A and B are shown apart, each in its own frame.
Chain A
Amino acid sequence: MSNDSYVTDDGRTIGPTVMEMKNITLRFGGVKAITDISFDIREGEIRAIIGPNGAGKSSMLNVISGFYVPQEGEVWYKGAKRPPMKPYEVAQQGIARTFQNIALFEGMTVLDNVMTGRLRQMKANMFEQAIWKGKAEREEVENREVVEKIIDFLEIQAIRKTPVGRLPYGLKKRVELARALAAEPSILLLDEPMAGMNVEEKEDMSRFILDMNDEFGTTIALIEHDMGVVMDLSDRVVVMDYGKKIGDGTPDEVRNNQDVIDAYLGVAHD
C-alpha cells in the first residue's frame, strides 16, 4: 500500500493505491484457481494482468468485480476492507467491466445498450417512467447527454441506431466498452478487450484505452494476450501462471523476469 503519487514519463499522474488484493486464494471444489495472490492497483494507472491460458486471470478479474468470493484473502477498496458483495453492489461502488465473451443485448440498438450503462444513475420508478413527465424525462435527457459524449468519444455515431446483433465483432467490443464507460467508473475492468481483432482494430482499441485513461482519468485493469499491446499500454503488469503470481512490475522488469520467460516459452513442470 502506497500513498504517494508520481508522474510517469509521458506526463500522467499516478495516484495512491485505490485497490489492493491481499493473499487471495480461490478454490472451485478441489481445484485451486488462484493461490495466495497479492497486488495493488493505483489510481489513474493502467494495470495489466497477463499469463498463459488457464492461469487464473479471468478468475482474478471476477474476484475484483465481486462475481467470485475468494475463500481466503481480503479485497481492500479505497482504504477500506470490502465485505463479500453482490456484483451489482460492486458496480455501485464504481467498478465497471467488459466481458471476454461479449455480453450485450443483441436485439437492442447500440444507443439503448449504452444507456443501460447509466441505469445506476436513473432513479425514476416505474410509474414515473410510464407517465414520462418531470423526473423520468429529465433523467433521460441528462443521461442521454453523457451517453452521446461517450458515443462521440468512441466514434460509433454511425451505428447509433443499429441493432447490436447486426454489428461485426470488433464494433461489438467497442459498444461493450461504451456501456462500461457510461457507468463513469472509477475502475474499469477489461477482459481481453482485443481478443479476435485485426491489427487495425487493435490499434483503435489501444488508442481508446489510452485516451480514456488520459481524458477521464479512469483507472484501468486489463487482461490481454497480445504481448505487444500489453507492454505498450500498461504502467505495471502482474504475471500469473497456474494460479500463482510469478511476476509484478513495469513492462521492462517483467520482460526480463526469468520466471515469466519460462512460463511463456514453456519449461518442464515437475
Chain B
Amino acid sequence: MAQSSQATGGLTSIPALLQRNAAQFADKDAYREKEFGIWQTWTWAMTEKEIEALALGLINLGVKEGDFVAIIGRNRPYFYWSMVAAQSVGAVPVPVYQDSAAEEMEYILGHCGAKYAIVEDQEQVDKIIEIQEKLHTFEHMVYIDPRGLRKYDHRQLHEFSHIQAQGRAAHDELIGELKSRREKLDYDSTCVMLYTSGTTGKPKGVVLSNRNVIESSKNSAEFDALTGDEEILSYLPMAWVGDFIFSVGQAYWCGFCVNCPESADTMMTDLREIGPTYYFAPPRIFETSLTNVMIRMEDSGDLKYALFHHFMDFAKTAGEKYGMPKRSLAKPDMKRRIKNGWRYAMGLGFAMETIVENGIRMAFTKLRHGSKAREHFKAKDPILLNLYRGNLRDYFKYRMGNVLVYGPLKDTLGFGRVRVGYTAGEAIGPEIFEFYRSLGINLKQLYGQTEATVFITAQPDGEVRADTVGVPSPDVEIKIDDNGEIHYRSPGTFVEYYNNPESTASTKDAEGWVATGDAGFFEEKSGHLRIIDRAKDVGKMADGSMFAPKYVENKLKFYPDILEAVLFGNGKDRCVAFINIDLTAVGNWAERNNIAYASYQELAGHPKVLDSIQEHVEAVNRSVADDPMLAGCQIHRFLVLHKELDADDGEMTRTRKVRRVIVADKFKDLVDGLYDGSTSVSTTTEVTYEDGRKGSISATLELRDAQVVPVASKMAAE
C-alpha cells in the first residue's frame, strides 16, 4: 500500500488534490451550475478560494476534527465544496438523501451524532428543527437558500455566505490552524461516511478512507482513460456512493468539470446543453428516455417514422462495429470539427451520388435483363447502396444513418458526446441496452456497491454484453464461495460500518474479503462475471427448485409498460406476482386506443391493460421455462397494483430498490388472495404524502391467472 501512496505522488486526501488542481489547472472550469438561466462557472482557482473561505468559516463556527457534518441537498457546487471544506478541517462529511422524511434523518443524524448540518433551504431546515430536540449532540445548521428563513431564530442557524464571509474575515488568524489540520490528513483518515440505502433494516454508515476513494478513482479513471477534459452532469443523489466517486473522487483526481442542473425538473434540458462525455445513470433513466423516444416516434410523420425504423433496424447489427466512439477523445478541437464536418458532407454527398447512380444503373439493367434485375434489386436494400458489398456498404450506410437519424437523436437525448457511459444498480433490459449501443453510445455495465467504493467489476471497451457485468476492476480480487456468493478484496474495501462492529465483522473477514450478498458466477469463455440475484433473495420453492425473483422481475420490467414487479413464491409450490404499470407508457397507449381514465388506479384496473399485462406475463413464462433450472419460477397468478410502490411509503429504498419483505407484509391480503384462488380482493392501503401526512386509498383488484408452460413435459421433451 505504501507503494500506491507513492504512485499518487503524496496526494493522499481530497483537499490535497484540490491544492494540486488549483495550481495545475487554475483557469480550467471546475464547477458549473445553471442558475438564473445561465451556466455560472467556477474555475479550480476560484473553487479553492471558496472552499478555503468555507473551511475557515467552519473552524470559526467551532467545527473540530472528527466531527460529523451532515450535507443535505440536491446536487449543487456549494454542497461539493462543503464536503471538501469539511474534510479540510478534519471533519467527516455525511451526505444524506434530501428527500428523506424527518424520521429517517433523525436516525442517521442521531446514529453518527452529527454536530453540524449544511442544508439547502427552508424545507430541510424545517425538517431538522422538527427533530432537533431528539438530537442531543446537534449544534449548528448552515443553509444556502435564505428564502423564507429570515424570521427564524438564528442562534443555531447560519447562512452559507455569512459563514464564508466570517471565514474570509478571520483568514489571518485561522489559516495556520487550517493548514496544520489539512496536513494531518493521510491515506488512512476518513474521507466520507455514506449510509447504505438499507434494502433490509436500518441504514448502515459505511466509512470510506482517503485510500479507498483515491485508489478507486485512480484505477477506474485509468481503466476508462478519463482525462481532465471530461464533462459530467451531476444529478444523482449526493448521498449515493456513485455520485461521490464520479463528482468528487474522479473529478478531483482527473481535474474535470462537474456540472449541476438548475433543478431536478430541468435535468433533461441541462443534459442536452452540457453534452457530457462521461455519463452515469441507473437503468431507469435509460428506460424512461427510450420510452419517450418511442412515444414521440409514434406521433411523428410517416417519412420520419420509416427512416427511424429502417436505420434503427440496421444499427442493431452495425452499430457495435461502426458506431463506437474512439477512446479518449473528449473535446473536439478545431481540426476535428473540420474533419467531422467534412465527413458529414461526404456522407450526404455519397448518399445522393449513390441514389442517382443506383437509379441510372437500375434503369439500364432493367432495359437489358428485365425480370432478373428486379429480383436483384428487390433482394437488397430498396433504393440505397446496392452497389457496394459487405463491410464497405455497411460502413457508409452507418455514416449516413449517423447524419440522418443517430446523430440528431443522440443530440436530442443529450448523449451526443458521451464517450464512456455506465449503467449500474440494477440489470438493464437487453433491448434497451442494445438500443443505446447501436446508436453509437459506449454504454457499459458495472457492478459495485458502497462497501467497495463502487467498483467491483466493469466492462472493458469492446467486451460489452447485456447479460454480464464485466471483468474485475483493476486491483480487485474476486472469489466465489461454495454457495455461489461473490466475495471481493480491493483497495476500495471500506474501513468499517460506523459504530457497528458486529455488522462489520459479519461482512468483512480478517483477511479483508467482503461478502457482497449477491450470487453469481464467472463465465468460463469470457471471464466475465454474471450476477444471478441477491443471495438472500434466492430461495427454494416447495418442490426444491430454485427461486430467483430478480431474474423473473427483470424480464417483466423490460416491457415498457411495466415499471416494477415483485415476485413471491419462496417456500411455496408456485409463484405469483405484483405488477406496477408505467403511467407514461400505458397512458400514451390508452390515449392512442381511446381508453378514458381518470386516475392511475383506474388505468391500472382497466381490463384492456390487464389483458396486455397478461400477454407480457405469459411471454415471460415461456422465456423462463426455457431455463430448466428456473422453470419453477413461472408466474401462475398476478395482479396489477392500485398504487405505485414508493419510497415515501417505505416500499422502496431511496435508490428505488424494492423492499421485498415490507411489500409482502403490507399487501399480505393481496398475496393471500393470489394464493387462495379468489378472483378479486378489496383492500385499503395507507399512503404517505410528500409532506409526511398520511392518507389511505382503497380499491378492488382483479386477480388473474396466467398460462404457464408445463415444466414436466418440457423436461421430458428434452
Contacts and interface: CB of A to CB of B under 8 A. Distances in A.
Interface of A: 10-12, 144-145, 148-149, 151-153, 155, 157-158, 160-161, 200, 203, 207, 210-211, 214-215
20 contacts: A11-B151, A12-B151, A145-B36, A148-B36, A148-B37, A148-B38, A149-B36, A151-B36, A151-B37, A152-B36, A153-B147, A157-B34, A157-B37, A200-B690, A203-B691, A207-B148, A210-B148, A211-B147, A214-B148, A214-B150
A207 B263 CA distance: 18
B151 A157 contact: no
B151 A10 contact: yes
B434 interface: no
Nearest to A152: B36
B35 interface: yes
Contacts of A160: 37
B299 to A, nearest CB: 14
Contacts of B38: 148
Given A148-B36, A152-B35, A158 B263 contact: yes
Contacts of B269: 158, 161
Contacts of A215: 147-148
A27 to B, nearest CB: 43
Given A144-B37, A211-B148, 16 more contacts: A11-B151, A145-B36, A148-B37, A148-B38, A151-B36, A151-B37, A155-B263, A157-B34, A157-B263, A157-B266, A158-B265, A160-B37, A200-B689, A200-B690, A211-B147, A214-B148
Contacts of B150: 214
Contacts of A153: 147
Nearest to A144: B37
A235 to B, nearest CB: 15
A155 B147 CA distance: 12
9 smallest CB-CB distances across A and B, nearest first, come from A158-B265, A148-B36, A11-B151, A148-B37, A158-B266, A157-B262, A211-B148, A157-B263, A157-B266
Contacts of B148: 207, 210-211, 214-215
Contacts of A214: 148, 150-151
Contacts of B35: 152
> Chain B at the A interface: mostly helix, strand, loop or mixed?
loop
Interface in B236-276: 262-263, 265-266, 269
A219 to B, nearest CB: 17
Nearest to A158: B265
Contacts of B151: 10-12, 214
Contacts of A11: 151
A235 B523 CA distance: 72
Interface secondary structure of A, over-half rule: helix
Nearest to B148: A211
B143 to A, nearest CB: 15
A181 to B, nearest CB: 14
Contacts of B265: 157-158
Nearest to A207: B148
Nearest to B261: A157
B152 to A, nearest CB: 9
A149 B263 CA distance: 14
A88 to B, nearest CB: 28
A201 to B, nearest CB: 13
Contacts of B36: 145, 148-149, 151-152
Nearest to A111: B37
Interface string B675-718: 00000000000000111000000000000000000000000000
Contacts of A151: 36-37
Nearest to B149: A214
Contacts of A203: 691
Nearest to B123: A207
B263 to A, nearest CB: 5
A24 to B, nearest CB: 35
Nearest to A8: B151
Contacts of A158: 262-263, 265-266, 269
A153 B148 CA distance: 11
Contacts of A145: 36
Contacts of B691: 203
A35 B288 CA distance: 59
Which of A145, A148, A158, A215 is the most central at the interface, judged by chain B CB atoms within 10 Å of its CB?
A158
A151 B262 CA distance: 11
B81 to A, nearest CB: 20
A152 B36 CA distance: 6
A38 to B, nearest CB: 32
A49 B570 CA distance: 63
A238 to B, nearest CB: 26
A215 B122 CA distance: 13
A12 B150 CA distance: 10
Interface in B32-69: 34-38
A78 B689 CA distance: 45
Nearest to A155: B263
Nearest to B38: A148
A189 B35 CA distance: 29
Contacts of B262: 157-158
Contacts of B147: 153, 211, 215
B77 to A, nearest CB: 16
Contacts of B263: 155, 157-158
Contacts of B689: 200
A25 B379 CA distance: 86
Contacts of A157: 34, 37, 262-263, 265-266
B37 to A, nearest CB: 5
A157 B262 CA distance: 7
Contacts of A149: 36
A153 B37 CA distance: 12
A215 B147 CA distance: 7
B38 to A, nearest CB: 8
B159 to A, nearest CB: 14
Nearest to B690: A200
